[in-house]
Structure 1
């Protein structure tokens, strides 16, 4: 495992734990060169559908793209790394359970918005503003109104 701080390829495992949902193993590692500690997650490699982009291009599912988008939306919010990893795992499970060989990027984006909506309103709106490419304040306000109306229906 390559150290994210110095790039050295040797590390020792300090601690291993199964994630709460049982889908991953979390390992705390220590670099044998610089001595800094970092966390890795080990997942079962599953066959995932090919992602069909809006322009028709096809590419392999990339868990890191999901994580990156969720992290950006959750920036400066009181959301733990563990919660973000749990959301990423939920979106990945959604894709694994999809019954086709291909899944649209819009289906994945809608799932990300769904899980963010349940976690944090600000993160949801941030992701929606990028994902739905709001053209102006009116689009933004319409999304907020739909969000508020949805919360009223849920009783929140």
Structure 2
């Protein structure tokens, strides 16, 4: 590591600490030539994640775009404001864990729908109506019927949460 003041390559690490996210290391360094102390940050560079759209167009994964879509579906629903952000983080982590650098947009949609199904059924239907591009009311009704069949009216909980399908 070069000293930012004199350009000397002879620097030593004085202190290293993990930051809160534990994916970043903060290092205090000292130049062997001019004695300047400076800080560097080291983190793993995640590979780019590319989304392949239905028409074949490739686009870099945009976590904020995903979170925005989830927030729209959850608008005015009794769900914590942080739920969309947490769901977007979980979806991104799942995609990265799957180890593919190119991911079909349908996979992102499936994960988003699964997250919304667990969070709020109305938000799920809102998202599904846009994502699945229902052709008519019959398609929408079929989706609502499927969701309703997995819902337990006695406690208002989806049986999909319990693992029953």
Q: TM-score when scaled to structure 1?
A: 0.67
For residues 45-124 of structure 1, the aligned pairs below 5 Å read: 46-124=46-124
Aligned counterpart, 2:125: 125
CA-to-partner distance for each residue in 1:41-98, whole Å, 9 max, x for gaps?
Answer: xxx8632421000000001000011011101101111222211211111111111112
Higher relative CO (Cα under 8 Å, sequence separation at least 6) belongs to 1
Change (3 A) 1:133 1:23: farther
What RMSD over aligned residues (CA atoms) do the two structures have, in Å?
2.3
Q: Is the 8 A contact 2:52 2:104 kept in 1?
A: yes
Change (3 A) 1:93 1:105: same
Give unmatched runs, 5+ long, in structure 2. 1-19, 24-43, 153-158
Which structure carries more helix by proportion? 1
**In the aligned structure 2, how far is the partner of 1:48 from the partner of 1:73?**
27
Runs of 4+ in structure 1 displaced over 2 angstroms? 44-49, 149-156
Equivalences, count = 117
